[in-house]
């Protein structure tokens, strides 16, 4: 198993450094062909989101497509894949940040009864999701 850091995903997605893009592409392709498995962390997924949003000004739709593409990679092991996937879909369907969506989905999956926040928009979403 091989850990994949944020910069590998970014070089692959952005194609801004050709030699690193080709190396990342090779690793992802070989893993997809079942030569080996990859693993990454929850933090890496959020770093990808933050960097693409803040530095590269990707739209919500672009972020949704990129993140769902990563989460669909079967050769990539990601802790909390289902929770992340549900968070990304909630992000796509609301005007909330991915961080807020993750916290809402996490709270609902943990079956919490109340969500303490001073953010009334977030509180309203907590009360409205199933």
What does the pLDDT read at residue 126?
Answer: 87
What's the mean per-residue pLDDT of the chain? 93
Token pair for residue 35? 């030569």
Distance CA 126, CA 130 (A): 9
77 membership: H or E segment, kind and range: strand 76-78
Q: What is the pLDDT of residues 61-89, one digit of tens each?
A: 999 999 999 999 999 999 999 999 999 99
Q: What is the DSSP letter of 107?
A: H
pLDDT exceeds 60 at position 130: no
SS3 of 1-54: the string is CEECCHHHHHHHHHCCCHHHHHHHHHHHHHHHCCCCCEEECHHHHHHHHHHHHH
Q: What is the DSSP letter of 76?
A: E
63 membership: H or E segment, kind and range: helix 60-71
Torsion angle defined by CA atoms of residues 39, 43, 48 and 49, in that order, rounded to the nearest 10 degrees: 130
Range with the lowest mean pLDDT among 57-61, 64-68, 120-124?
120-124
The whole-model pTM stands at 0.90
Helix (H, G, I), strand (E, B) or coil at 82: helix
- Whole-number Cα distances in Å, 6 to 9, 48, 65, 126, 127: 5, 6, 17, 30, 34
């Amino acid at each position: 198993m091989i850990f994949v850091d944020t910069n590998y995903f970014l070089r692959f997605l952005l194609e801004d450094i050709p030699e690193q893009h080709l190396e990342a592409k090779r690793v992802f392709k070989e893993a997809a062909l079942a030569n080996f498995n990859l693993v990454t962390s929850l933090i890496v997924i959020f770093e990808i989101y933050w960097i693409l949003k803040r530095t590269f000004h990707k739209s919500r739709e672009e972020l949704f497509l990129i993140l769902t593409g990563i989460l669909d990679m079967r050769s990539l092991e990601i802790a909390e894949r289902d929770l992340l996937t549900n968070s990304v879909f909630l992000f796509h369907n609301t005007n909330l940040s991915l961080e807020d969506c993750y916290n809402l989905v996490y709270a609902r999956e943990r079956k919490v009864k109340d969500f303490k926040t001073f953010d009334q928009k977030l509180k309203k979403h907590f009360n409205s999701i199933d």
